[in-house]
Chain A
Amino acid sequence: MLSINIRKFISFTFVAFLYLNVISQDCHLILSGKVIDQHHEENLEYATVYIQELNAGTVCDSIGRFTIDKVCPGKYHIIVSHLGCESKNYYLTITENTYQIFQLEHHEELMDEIEITGDGSQSRTGLNKNTLKKEILFEQAGKSLSEILTSIPGISSLKSGPNLSKPIIQGMYGNRVTILNHGIPQEGQQWGNDHAPEIDPNTADKISVYKGASAIRFGLQTIGGIVVLEPEEIQEDPHWHGSYQSTFQTNGLNFSGAATIRKSFDLAKIRLTGGFVKSGDKKTPDYFLTNTGNSDASFSIIVSNHASGKWKRLFYYSYYYNKNGILRGSHIGNVTDLEEAFNRSIPFYTEDNFSYKIDVPRQEVNHHLAKYNTKYFINESSNFNLDVGIQVNQRSEFDIRRGNRNDKPALDLNLFSQYYDLYYFKQSDHVEYTAGIQYRNANNTNIPGTGILPLIPDYINNTGAGYLISKYKLKKIQIENGLRVEFRNYFVARISNNREVIKEHINYLNWATNFGLKTSIFKDIKTLVDISYTNRPPEVNELFSNGLHQGVSGIEEGNSNLNAERSFKIVNEWDIKIGHSTNINASLFYNRISNYIYLQPQKELRLTIRGAFPVFKYIGTEASLTGGDIKLIHNITDHLQATSGLSYIYARNITQNSGLIRIPPLNLQLNLSYTFGRFWKIHEIKTVVGFSYDAGQTNVDLSEDFLNPPGEYYLINISTKFRLKTKNGNDIDIQFRAENLLNNTYRQYLNRLRYFADETGSNFSLNIKSYF
Chain B
Amino acid sequence: MNKKILTLGLSIFMLTLFSSCDKDPEVSNEEELITTVTYTLTPVTTGEIVTLTFKDIDGDGGNAPVITYTGELKTGTTYNGALSLLNEAENPAENITEEIEEEDEDHQLFFAVSGGAEGKMIISYDDKDANNQPVGLKTKVSTSGTGTGKLKITLRHLPNKTASGVSAGNITNAGGETDIEVNFDIVIK
Residue positions of A touching B, CB distance < 8 A: 311, 331-334, 336-337, 340, 348-349, 372, 388, 390, 400-403, 405, 416, 418, 420, 441, 443, 445-446, 448-454, 457-460, 491, 493-495, 497-501, 503, 546-548, 555, 557, 606-611, 613
B31 touches A405 (CB 8 A): yes
One of B59-67, B76-84, B115-123, B127-135 at the interface: B59-67
Contact digits for B167-185, partner A, Cβ 8 Å, 1 yes 0 no: 0000000011111111000
Q: Is A451 within 8 A of B178, CB to CB?
A: no
Q: Which residues of A contact B59 (CB under 8 A)?
A: 453, 497, 608
B45 within 8 A of A: no
**Which residues in window 41-62 of B have CB below 8 A to A?**
54, 56, 58-62
Distance in angstroms between the alpha carbons of A211 and B181 in the assembled complex: 47
Q: Tell me the B147-183 residues at the A interface (CB within 8 Å).
A: 154, 156-158, 160, 175-182
B23 contact from A405, A441, A450, A458, Cβ within 8 A: A458
Per the bound structure, the CA–CA distance linking A337 and B171 in Å amounts to: 11
B178 touches A337 (CB 8 A): yes
Tell whether, in the assembled complex, residue A450 and residue B60 are in contact, meaning their CB atoms are under 8 Å apart.
Answer: no
B26 to chain A, nearest CB (A): 4
A450 and B28 within 8 A (CB): yes
A269 to chain B: closest CB distance in Å? 19
Min Cβ gap B64→A in Å is 6
Interface centre among A449, A494, A609 (most CB of B within 10 A): A609
Name the contact of A607 in the complex, choosing from B22, B24, B64, B157 (C-beta under 8 A).
B64
A546/B178 in contact, CB under 8 A: no
Report the interface size for chain B: residues with CB under 8 A from the other chain: 47
Interface string of B95-136 (1 = CB under 8 A from A): 000010011001000000000000000000000000000000
Shortest CB distance A553–B (Å): 10
Whether B31 and A332, one on each chain, are in contact in the complex, defined by CB atoms closer than 8 angstroms, is no
**Given A402-B103, A403-B103, A499-B27, do A547 and B60 touch, yes or no (CB 8 Å)?**
yes
Does the CB pair B23–A609 fall under 8 Å?
Answer: no
Given contact pairs A336-B178, A441-B17, a sample of 4 additional A-B residue pairs in the complex whose CB atoms are under 8 Å apart: A333-B176, A400-B157, A452-B28, A491-B21
Q: Of the candidates B9, B17, B32, B62, which one forms a contact with A451 in the assembled complex, judged by CB atoms under 8 Å apart? A: B32
A466 smallest CB distance to B (angstroms): 18
Known contacts A452-B30, A453-B30, A498-B58, A610 near B181 by CB under 8 Å: yes
Contacts of B176 in A (CB 8 A): 333, 337, 348
List 7 A-B pairs, minimum CB-CB distance, nearest first.
A451-B31, A333-B178, A333-B177, A611-B181, A497-B62, A348-B175, A448-B26
Bound: A337/B176 CA distance, A: 8
A458/B179 in contact, CB under 8 A? no
A340 to B160 Cα, complex, angstroms:
14
Q: How far is the CA of A657 from the CA of B111 in the complex (A)?
A: 43
Q: Which of B1-20 contact A (CB under 8 A)?
A: 2, 9, 13, 16-17, 20
Question: Least Cβ distance of A172 to chain B in Å?
Answer: 30
CA distance A493 to B21 in the complex (A): 11
Distance of A405 Cα from B179 Cα, bound (Å): 15
Q: Would you call B92 an interface residue if the criterion is a C-beta within 8 Å of the partner chain's C-beta atoms? A: no
Q: Which residues of B contact A403 (CB under 8 A)?
A: 31-32, 99, 102-103
The CA-CA distance from A267 to B103 in the complex, in Å, is: 63
Q: What's the nearest-Cβ distance from chain A to residue B170, in Å? A: 13
Docked-complex contact B32 and A452, CB < 8 angstroms: yes
CB atoms of B23 and A420 under 8 A apart: no
Pair B99/A607 contact, Cβ less than 8 Å: no
Question: Provided the pairs A497-B58, A608-B56 are in contact, do residues A340 and B175 lie with their beta carbons within 8 angstroms?
Answer: yes
A333 touches B28 (CB 8 A): no
